[in-house]
Amino acid sequence: MMAAKVQSGNGLAKQESKETVLYGELQLPFKHSYIQGWIYPPFIKQANLDRTASFALRPSDVLIATFPKNGTTWTQKIIQNLHNEHKTGHLTAAQGNLLEIMPWLENTADHGLIDDITGPRYIKTHNSYDFVAYNPNVACKYIYIARNPKDVCVSLWHHCRGFAVFNYAGEFAEFSQLFLEGKVESGDWWVHVKEFYNNARNMNVLFLKYEDMHADGPGCVKKINDFCALPDLSHDQAVSVSEASSFRKMKTDAKSNYSWLDDVRNKKEAPFMRKGTVGDWANYFSEEMSAQFDAKTQSMFQDIKLEFSDGCPK
């Protein structure tokens, strides 16, 4: 990977005197892989994507598909708690942490581990629509979760600074500009979301919004339950699963809060379970950058009329 040293540019008030290392042909200020036009974390290589492309899907599979920081882990927890509620004996905490029981497909070197899962498999993926595991002859399901792009950007900035593998210490002004240009992990959020939303292949997709999970937890829990063809769920059960999957509960649960990766995190940065709120972006964005995000959302989604609540009254 090519690396060059340059002085930081505009919008980097606190960094102006620091040198920034730029990586790869895209000259990005964080370590990454650039494969077939998409940006991945540096540990994802072409071989990972080749394996993903040949992954043997089963009709009972449910892929939890997201652009990073859009609600993946929360959805995994809801699914685990649904199985717990129905006493299926599947996906129990005793079987491992959330990532062990619902593996990240493109980051799993040994697909044998996924093949060995008995019962319905719930598999995490951040791949874009064009590269998501798919087989026209296997009618598996996809749960896609999307979150308003400004909160995603804030969360991803903390993520990029938090995991040492990215070697990134840039300021938010820099990162939000990169996000707007689609030059962050998983590329352009707007393209990622739009392609799944349009779903040109008519895959079986449940499209959920992170903000709706906040506004109506039990309603979203019920949607996930029914989409996954789990047994009937009463309203009281949906409330109970929603509460058991709350940010507060997950943050202190060592099998849900990613503390198993503490060794590879920068200790000074926010933890993986950071805030879990809607509207935190207002603490980070300049008015100008907020307007640029709004303009991109407007232009990218105008034909599909997809809107996100960003926690601010309109």
> Which one of 83, 90, 126, 159 is the catalytic residue?
126
Edge-to-edge strand list for the sheet holding 122-125 = 122-125, 62-66, 141-146, 204-209
CA 266 to chain centre: 20
83 is catalytic: no
Q: Which of 95, 246, 252, 299 binds ligand PPS (CB under 6 A)?
A: 246
Q: Are strands 122-125 and 62-66 parallel, antiparallel or unpaired?
A: parallel
CA 177 to chain centre: 19
Least gap, CB of 163 to ligand PPS (angstroms): 9
Least gap, CB of 84 to ligand PPS (angstroms): 15
Block residue for tokens 């927890």: 77
State which residue, 46 or 246, has the beta carbon closest to ligand PPS: 246
How big is the site for ligand PPS, counted in residues (CB under 6 A)?
Answer: 21
Candidates 242, 268, 272; CA nearest to 68 is: 272
Least gap, CB of 50 to ligand PPS (angstroms): 22
Helix axes 72-85, 217-227, angle to 10 degrees: 70
CB 167 within 8 A of CB 30: yes
Q: Which residues, including other chains, have CB under 8 Å from residue 94's CB and lie 6 or more apart?
A: none
| Residues 41-100 contacting ligand PPS, CB under 6 A | 66, 68-74
Q: Which of 273, 285, 296, 297 binds ligand PPS (CB under 6 A)?
A: 273
Q: Does 127 bind ligand PPS (CB under 6 A)?
A: no
What residue is closest to ligand PPS based on CB? 276
Least gap, CB of 276 to ligand PPS (angstroms): 3
Residue 231: what are its φ and ψ, rounded to 5°? -60, 165
Q: Which of 79, 133, 180, 250 binds ligand PPS (CB under 6 A)?
A: 250
Q: Active-site residues: which are they?
A: 126
Residues within the interface to ligand PPS (CB under 6 A): 66, 68-74, 151, 155, 158-159, 245-247, 250, 273-276, 280
